[in-house]
A and B are shown apart, each in its own frame.
Chain A
Amino acid sequence: MKNIRNFCVIAHIDHGKSTLSDRLLEYTKTISEREMQNQALDNMDLERERGITIKSHAIQMYYDRGSDGQKYTFNLIDTPGHVDFSYEVSRSIAACEGALLLVDASQGIQAQTISNLYLAIEHDLEIIPILNKVDMDSAMIDEVSDQIIDLIGCEKEDIILASGKTGRGVPDIMEAIVERIPAPEGDVDAPLQALIFDSVFNPYRGVIAYFRILNGTLNKGDLVRFVNTGKEYEADEVGVLRMSQHPQPKLQAGNVGYIITGIKESKEIKVGDTITTVDRPCENAIQGFEDVKPMVFAGIFPLDNDDFEDLRDSLEKLQLNDASLVFEPETSAALGFGFRCGFLGMLHLEIVQERLFREFNMDVITTVPNVSYNLSTKKGEISTIRTPSELPDHNYIEYVEEPYITAQIITKPDYIGTIMTLCMDKRGTLTKQHYLTPDRVELSFDLPLAEIVFDFYDRLKSISRGYASFDYQPIEYRETDLVKLDIKLNGEPVDALSALVHRSKAEAFGRQICKKLKELLPRQQFVIAIQAAVGAKVIARETISALRKDVTAKCYGGDISRKRKLLEKQKEGKRRMRQFGKVEVPQKAFLDVLKLD
């Protein structure tokens, strides 16, 4: 156990985490240059494109240390980097003893890094600061080093200068991992206690859970119990992960590995759960388990009504490796049969929609997302509202409650004013203001969850120039004044665009949606009236003028190919439209309409 080191990498998007991870894999010969695909750890196309790590991964490397002739086992646990997935991050961190804090020397510490860093410090992880991309002309080595020293209180010599591109600093990092990160502690003879920090779905093997053993030993063939779900399985295979799975007869305390039990649905494996043996169960589950609940709900409908069953199949398959996705059938007057889906946040929603398209070739329309509300009627009935159509006429309503969260925002003092303004605008109240260092302040707000669902995170990032970290936890439901906002196109309501909003926000929101739709809807041969209404009252309106000219001036020998392709593209775009009355709405408009600026 003394030769094992478990660590994760904390970095802002684009600060070179994946590239540096690749260098470590190369240096330890875990992966040969030939099999090297850039950013080997992010193996979903979507992740690679967006430059974010959605699901965490774990990989084992061996380091032959020349100075003491010893062989060390490194377990690198990769972490997701978006607030939608903060629970997964916290579980990954809980599986480590150390963290590499990776900072881009040309950009300095970015706020997103900070909340994960504090999470790591909270879990007593040893932090190894690394200044990356030091070979770039724009690198500000002294300045960024000072920022790091300020933040974690290390010495300047502790900071390793590195370049993922050239491989500079990699040997120093290897040494620092051995020297500074403590070896895991634990009792190999105690009852098994292993923390699940991630799971993936494999179409041939079922769900594979990744775990870190805190105490005890897990043998192939053991009968195991997952403490929180209470389910029992046989450990068909246990092993460690290198670039592929390497089965082992047993794994002991301190190590990181995977287990295959023939579980078919990832719903059965919950990140944060504890694995123990049925024969000799541990006394306590590992702390910190949470059942991750969806925060945001939206309808997903097939673009073509005939594809309803295919959509169900696709969602079921997606759910196999995305346990946080939930769905149930729903019908809409305008969109026909579809599903009401629950997501962790807006990014999760976008990812699901994109995966449906890429992996299953499903074209879908997503309705305006909302949170769930508690409804109490005058008759004393209590129910949950998860779609705008479920909100009854206000005569029937005793009261409605909406979920609140408590948000922690860490930023520079310069941005306190603008962030306060933003949070007030979002119906928030400041509950705490606390200086962490003279240059770093933590603000706490109570905010309605509904207000952070849409554009809060993006706006926070832009008003603070990226210098604000954001994290939140749900707290309670509070009474609210909720209205249903309808969008009409030439008088025809489009229920996919209906939204549940606070009365004070209805007009502004309606105006924004109308304005955005004006940009997104293609002009047609007639005038299109876009209206936002609460009940019978129209509160916002935009008009799209009729298309007067839609013809290319010149169409001679050289123009024919180019123009044909242009029109073919136009036709393809039309296929991905849905008609409301006479008005055609592109599929893309349903999601883009929510990208309010």
Chain B
Amino acid sequence: MPGLYLHIPFCKQACHYCNFHFSTSLKYRGEMVKAIARELGFRKDYLTDKRLDSIYFGGGTPSLLTAAELAFLFEAISRHFEVSPGAEVTLEANPDDLTPERLASLRQSAVNRLSIGLQSFSEEDLRFFNRAHSADEAARCLDLALEAGFDDLSVDLIYGSPTTTDAQWERNLDEVFRRRIPHLSCYALTVEPQTALDHFVRKGKAPQVDEAQAARQFSYLAQRAASEGYAHYEISNFALPGRYARHNSSYWKGEHYLGVGPSAHSFDGASRQWNVAHNAKYLKALQSESPQGFFEREELSVADRYNEYIMTGLRTSWGVSLEQIQAIDPQAAPHFQREAHIFLEQGQLVQSGGRFFLSPQARFLADGIAAALFW
């Protein structure tokens, strides 16, 4: 069943590493919510199957939305779609927004899962990232969320930062595992072009990211998560049994999704399209009589679909299956087998039945291997 993504393009302040689309001016928030609701109606036929299995509020910082704004968006969603009973409804939230009052109000809403942009429990890390919350707020928000009855929680952490020692990384993981948070996303700090961090590194004001440190901390993470009983089900994602992120998993499983809001991406199996990553242009288009020209679209060729399947599939613990490759194109399977040979020999790919997986040691080299298997 398909998923719905809503992009809320506002943040209180800009994190130094972030290259997602957002604005730190909250002036047009009300208008934006209306425009997104309008896009929902306008694009309701994008999905052939209208029963939503997951809804995901991403950003930006969706926890900036008021209870009324959230309710307004839910109203629009239920007007145009059918939300399955038991659908996963995730809201990305920043620790500084998660006050007891706010959590109580969120519990009253349709949101049943929080993905908390926690990043670290260290003040030094948080300052280096330019996060809006403090180390104290990081630890407290988890307890508050659990107390408020949100047992479906996911926490984001960043490793490999020049400010993160191995000992600190271990402490960060301790904090999460101690609370048995069911889902964890851990990202290696990446210097994305045109971010503040990129600028600092170029100017020599911040050190280069140390790849060996990232590899070391990743390896610790993988072992620790396994020993804590978490499944390492995607390169950057870990979950207690049965607690996989359903919405995010749909991206890797090739399921259809509709994305609304500026810069949001959609996929219908045959093509991908993405909205303009510009708040004013998006608003202008959605406020016009007949909205148009606010997205770009790309039809996927057979090779594109095969490449995407390899690229996303190899990142997951489900791997890729020869059967599915065959289904994309009969020619694809022999190509895959030919190219995969060397990686199987080197032990970087592992075969089990008709499925192929990256070996644990090869996970940190996933991109190069995927590219080599491309058509």
Chain A residues in the interface with B (C-beta under 8 A): 525, 547-558, 560-561, 563-564, 567-568, 570-571, 574
Q: Taking the complex as formed, is B274 at the interface, i.e. its CB lies under 8 A from any CB of chain A?
A: yes
A525 to B211, CA, bound (A): 13
Q: Which residue of B lies closest to A553 (CB)?
A: B187
Taking CB atoms, residues of chain A closer than 8 Å to B298 are 561
> Within the complex, what minimum Cβ distance (angstroms) separates B56 from chain A?
9
Q: Given the complex, which residues of A lie within 8 Å of B211, measured CB to CB?
A: 548-549
C-alpha spacing A567/B257, complex, angstroms? 23
B251 interface neighbour in A551, A557, A568, Cβ under 8 Å: A557
A567 and B374 contact, Cβ closer than 8 Å, known pairs A549-B188, A557-B267, A560-B251:
yes
Q: Specify which of B267, B364, B372 is in contact with A551 (CB 8 Å cutoff).
A: B364
- Chain B residues with CB under 8 Å of A558's CB are 259, 263-265, 274
- Contacts A555-B252, A557-B265, A561-B298: A550 and B372 contacting too (C-beta < 8 A)? no
**Chain B residues closer than 8 Å to A547, beta-carbon distance:** 365, 368
1/0 contact trace for B26-44 toward A, CB 8 Å?
Answer: 0000000000000000000
Asked if B212 CB lies within 8 Å of chain A CBs, one says: yes
Indicate if the CB atoms of B190 and A553 lie closer than 8 Å. yes
A567 and B190 within 8 A (CB):
no
* Given A549-B365, A550-B367, A556-B248, 15 new contacts (CB under 8 A): A548-B212, A548-B215, A549-B364, A550-B364, A551-B366, A551-B367, A553-B187, A553-B188, A553-B190, A553-B235, A561-B265, A561-B274, A567-B370, A570-B368, A571-B374
Instruction: Assess whether B307 is in contact with A568, with CB atoms less than 8 Å apart.
Output: yes
Q: List 6 A-B contacts (CB under 8 A).
A: A525-B365, A549-B211, A557-B5, A557-B265, A560-B267, A567-B370
B214 is an interface residue with CB less than 8 A from chain A: yes
- State the CA gap A568–B298 with chains docked (Å): 16
CB distance from A326 to the nearest CB of B (A): 40
- The CA of A556 and the CA of B263, in the complex, are separated in Å by 13
Mask: chain B, 316-331; 1 = CB below 8 Å from A; 0 = not: 0000000000000000
Q: How far is the CB of B367 from chain A (nearest CB, A)?
A: 5
Complex CA distance for A185 and B363, rounded to whole angstroms: 80
The answer on a CB contact under 8 Å between B307 and A551 is no
Report chain B residues within 8 Å CB of A568: 307, 371, 374
Q: Which residues of B contact A551 (CB under 8 A)?
A: 188, 235, 315, 363-367
On chain A, the residues within 8 Å of B234 by CB distance are 555
- Cβ contact of A571, chosen from B5, B235, B236, B372, cutoff 8 A: B372
- Kindly report which residue of chain B lies nearest to residue A556, judged by CB atoms: B251
Once the chains bind, are B368 and A550 in contact (CB under 8 Å)? yes
Flag whether B155 is at the interface (Cβ < 8 A): no
Residues of A within 8 A of B372 (CB): 571, 574
Residues of B within 8 A of A555 (CB): 234-235, 251-252, 311-312, 315
User: Closest CB of chain B to A565's CB: distance in Å?
Assistant: 9
Q: Quick check: A561 and B272 within 8 Å, CB to CB?
A: yes
A567 with B311: CB separation less than 8 A: yes
List 5 tightest A-B contacts by C-beta distance, closest first: A553-B187, A567-B371, A548-B215, A558-B265, A551-B366
Size bin of chain B's contact surface: 35 or more
In chain A, what residue has the closest Cβ to B303?
A568
- Does residue B170 face the partner (Cβ distance < 8 Å to A)? no
Is the CB of B304 closer than 8 A to any CB of chain A? Answer: yes
B156 CB, min distance to chain A CBs, angstroms: 10
Chain A, interface SS category? loop
Q: How far does the Cβ of A557 sit from chain B's closest Cβ, in whole Å? A: 5
User: Nearest chain-A residue to B263 (Cβ)?
Assistant: A558
A582 to B266, CA, bound (A): 41
Asked if B367 and A567 make an inter-chain contact with CB atoms under 8 angstroms apart, the answer reads yes
Q: Is B308 an interface residue (CB 8 A)?
A: yes
**Chain B nearest CB: distance from A126 CB in Å?**
53
Please, which residues of chain B bring their CB within 8 A of the CB of A548? 211-212, 214-215, 364
Q: Which of A551, A552, A560, A567 lies at the interface centre, i.e. has the most chain B CB atoms within 10 A of its CB? A: A551
Interface residues of B in 206-264 (CB under 8 A from A): 211-212, 214-215, 218, 234-236, 248, 251-252, 257, 259, 263-264
In Å, the complex CA distance between A555 and B248 comes to 9
Separation in Å of the A497 CB from the closest CB of chain B? 25
Shortest CB-to-CB span from B64 to chain A, Å, is: 20
Chain B hits for A556, CB < 8 A: 248, 251
Pair B368/A564 contact, Cβ less than 8 Å: no
Chain B 348-375 interface residues, beta-carbon cutoff 8 Å to A: 363-368, 370-372, 374
Q: Which residues of A contact B272 (CB under 8 A)?
A: 560-561
Closest A residue to B307 by CB, please name it.
A564
* Complex alpha-carbon distance, A557 and B258, angstroms: 10
CB-CB nearest in chain B for A560 = B308
What CA separation (Å) do A568 and B263 show in the bound complex? 23
Which B residues lie within 8 Å of A574 (CB)? Answer: 371-372
Q: What is the CB-to-nearest-CB distance from A87 to chain B, in angstroms, rounded to a whole number? A: 46
A574 to B370, CA, bound (A): 13
> When the two chains form their complex, are residues B265 and A564 in contact, meaning their CB atoms are under 8 A apart?
no
Interface centre among B211, B234, B266 (most CB of A within 10 A): B211
Give the nearest-CB partner of B17 in chain A. Answer: A553
In the complex, A525→B374 CA distance in Å?
19
With A550-B365, A555-B315 in contact, is A567–B263 under 8 Å at CB? no
The smallest beta-carbon distance between B328 and chain A, in angstroms, is 14
Could you say which residues of chain B place their CB within 8 Å of the CB of A554? 187, 236
Distance of A561 Cα from B296 Cα, bound (Å): 12
Smallest CB–CB gap between B174 and chain A, Å? 22
Q: A548–B259 Cα gap in the complex (Å)?
A: 34
B residues 263-286 near A (Cβ < 8 Å) are 263-267, 272, 274
Give the complex CA separation of A550 and B363 in angstroms.
9
Chain B nearest CB from A521 CB (Å) reads 14
Q: Which residue of B lies closest to A561 (CB)?
A: B272
Distance of A568 Cα from B372 Cα, bound (Å): 9
Q: Are A564 and B248 in contact (CB under 8 A)?
A: no
